[in-house]
Amino acid sequence: MFVIGTAGHVDHGKSTLVYALTGINPDRLREEQERQMTIDLGFAWLTLPSGREVSIIDVPGHEDFIKNMLAGVGGIDVALFVVAADESVMPQTREHLAIIDLLKVPYGVVALTKSDLVQDPEWLELVREEVREELRGTVLEGASIIPVSAVTGRGLQELLGELDRILDVAQPRQDLGRPRLSIDRVFSIAGFGTVVTGTLIDGRLTVGEEVQILPGDLRARIRGLQMHKTKVQEALPGSRVAINLSGVAVEDLRRGQVVTRPGWLEPTMLLDARLKLLNRVPWPLKHNAAVEFYAGSARVVGYVRILDKEQLLPGEMAWVQLRLAEPVAVVRGDRYIVRLASPSLTLGGGEIVQPHAPRRYPRFRSEIIARLEALSRGTCAEVFLELLAGTTILEARELIQRSNFSVMEATRTLRALVEKGEIIILAAQIPEEQALAHCAVPLLARNTWEGLLTQIKEILEAYHERFPLRAGMPREELKSRLQMGAEHFNLILERAAREGELVVTPLAVRLPAHRVVLSPDQRRAVDRVLAMFRADPYMPPSLAQVEGELGSELLQFLLEEGLLIKVSDSVLFDAETYAEMERRVVAYLKEHQRITVAEVRDLFGTSRKYALGFLEDLDRRHITKRLGDVRILR
């Protein structure tokens, strides 16, 4: 399916031409009919001589209505560019042409309307020449220029034939497997409820499917679909579609929101882009200038941060960051326009290279500019690696969506990069190719992985040197040193352990080569303390005493090695004694069902403090359970 959009100066005969071609009056409001001006997008459709059906959006020409024009022009394949033969090129002719050019509308044809009003063939030639001159250097350069008249019917067949000829070779809109429809109209129909219209791109929509509406994160279900007033079960990319939605109220919807499949598209307020300032803008664009930003049918206020120039001169290009006052739902590769509200003026536009800028960049940084250039040029593989540059970790589905390649190409490329080891997947198994597009497994570039491993090893090396008696670095401490979320951190440790790079226990991490070795002095001190424990096993030295004898590092070592067991802030037992006490208490409980602190005290001939500490430790380990004054077995 293809969408044709009209453009051109007000009163140059766009709506009349659409009516003459289609028999449908695209002016939809009574007010428009009365004023004979198309103040909102009008829609019509047409069967070309070949039998091909196309949609026509009639975009109004009046300066005040430029917003509507932009809402419509974002999704069109062919520009039907109208210039009245009697008046020739006018200011809005130029502005609309500039917008068509900035949005890179791929195809176009020029209709010289009202040709019946021009008697002099030389005049017609002059107008034709002037138009040809205007088109030079734009996407419409070389487009056919066809004199037509809605009054006499002249040229209409030729125009239809030309549209067919263009569409014979036109690239149909891609099916990227993730539909988007930028809402240009919202209304309700009695008996049906909420209806939105727009041009569907990048995928199909089906009756019954659940959709997400962004920004605003609303959910709804598709109750019905219409193309050209005909019900359909499935709408194809590149068509004008009306969607009847259930589960969402008209008041919650507005032009500029995007209807899509749930879960992948995230609105943004900071994006990286290429910006061209139009030649006809009378002054340079300053850094941080306030503009109106248009993409799809969205319009929001924003600020232009110019990254590689002091200011942008008319006719020049720059790398920019657009800081928006409200979120918009756009993807990499989308085209946009920036305008000034007052005086009303189209400034320029370009391509969105990264919808989610990782941060606000400092200006004049060559490495940042180089990165943006790579992102804008790259193949799918290059874009993946660029998106994963630095220390970025992205989920597989995020990476695929941000790259803006078709799901098929993206998953194939990703799979190949993972197999080549250029991208590391943080999972024990590589998911199936089909599953990659939906799966949340984190990915990182090989460089990032290697950098992380080196960093972890350096941290551990320093740690082992500083605390030679500790078996390893507590996981929590390492995690906070790396400033990493728990989920990614755990997956990274798992992988490093699988590969034998690190030894990971539930609480600590160490280098595989690290061994705790005691000096002869330390060994003697440890033996002496352990002997004290054996001498009086049920009333052994307190924690403070042991610390006094050995120091906290050596005490920590004995605890980590499991030679001593800490049951409270002051009470320790040696491991053998603890195990024996546990056996005897459990046996006692099996026989008597319950045990008190005093009974434990008497059982081992110890004091209340030791007995209580020991029992509380059994409670913590879920061996026993306290019920009032007694313990029972769990």
Phi, psi of 5 (to 5 degrees): -125, 140
Instruction: Output the smallest distance, CB 163 to ligand GDP, in A.
Output: 18
Least Cβ distance, residue 116 to ligand GDP (angstroms):
5
Q: CB 13 → ligand GDP: shortest distance, Å?
A: 3
Give the sign of the dihedral formed by CA 391, CA 394, CA 396, CA 399. Answer: negative
Identify which of residues 11 and 433 has a Cβ nearer to ligand GDP in the complex.
Answer: 11
Task: Give the residue from 509, 442, 517, 449 showing the smallest Cα distance to 474.
Answer: 509
Shortest distance, position 295 Cβ to ligand GDP, whole Å? 25
Q: Dump the DSSP string for 395-440.
A: EHHHHHHHHTS-HHHHHHHHHHHHHHTSEEE-SSSPPPHHHHTT--
Task: Tell me how far, at minimum, the Cβ of 80 lies from ligand GDP, in Å.
Answer: 11
Q: Which residues contact 16 (CB under 8 A, 6 or more apart)?
A: 113, 150
Q: Shortest gap between Cβ of 162 and ligand GDP (angstroms)?
A: 17
Residue 148, C-beta contacts closer than 8 angstroms, at least 6 positions apart: 17, 111, 112, 113, 115, 154, 155, 156, 158, 159
- Binding interface with ligand GDP (CB under 6 A): 10-16, 36-38, 61, 113-114, 116-117, 149-151
**Cα separation, 358 vs 271, whole angstroms:** 9
Indicate the residue among 59 and 318 with the shorter CB distance to ligand GDP: 59
Closest to ligand GDP by CB, 114 vs 601, is 114
Give the nearest distance from C-beta 338 to ligand GDP in angstroms: 25
* Residue given tokens 């037992």 in the structure block: 573
CB 198 → ligand GDP: shortest distance, Å?
Answer: 21
Torsion (CA) 361, 367, 371, 376 in degrees, nearest 10 = 90
Strand pairing class (107-113; 145-147):
parallel
Report, in Å, the least distance between residue 111 CB and ligand GDP: 9
- Closer Cβ to ligand GDP, 105 or 504, answer by number: 105
H or E stretch covering 543: helix 543-550
Q: What angle do CA 279, 297, 309 make, to 5 degrees?
A: 35
Q: Which CB, 5 or 613, lies closer to ligand GDP?
A: 5
Whichever of 114 and 240 has its CB closer to ligand GDP, that residue is 114
Q: Is 14 exposed, middle or buried (0-12, 13-18, 19+ CB in 10 A)?
A: buried
Q: Which is nearer to ligand GDP, 61 or 613 (CB)?
A: 61
CB nearer ligand GDP, residue 37 or residue 426: 37
Judged by beta carbon, residue 114 or residue 371, the one nearer ligand GDP is 114
Q: Minimal CB distance to ligand GDP: which residue? A: 13
Q: For residues 86 and 599, which CB has a smaller minimum distance to ligand GDP in the complex?
A: 86
Return d(Cα 632, Cα 616) in angstroms, integer. Answer: 12
Q: Which is nearer to ligand GDP, 10 or 427 (CB)?
A: 10
**Residue 407 corresponds to which tokens in the numbers above?**
């799901």
CB of residue 89 vs ligand GDP: minimum separation in angstroms? 14
**Shortest reach from residue 358's CB to ligand GDP, in Å:** 45
Element (H, E) at 252: none
Spatial contact of 130 and 101, defined as CB atoms under 8 Å apart: no
> How is residue 436 written in tokens?
């990659």
How many Cα atoms within 13 Å fall on the side-chain side of residue 395? Answer: 12
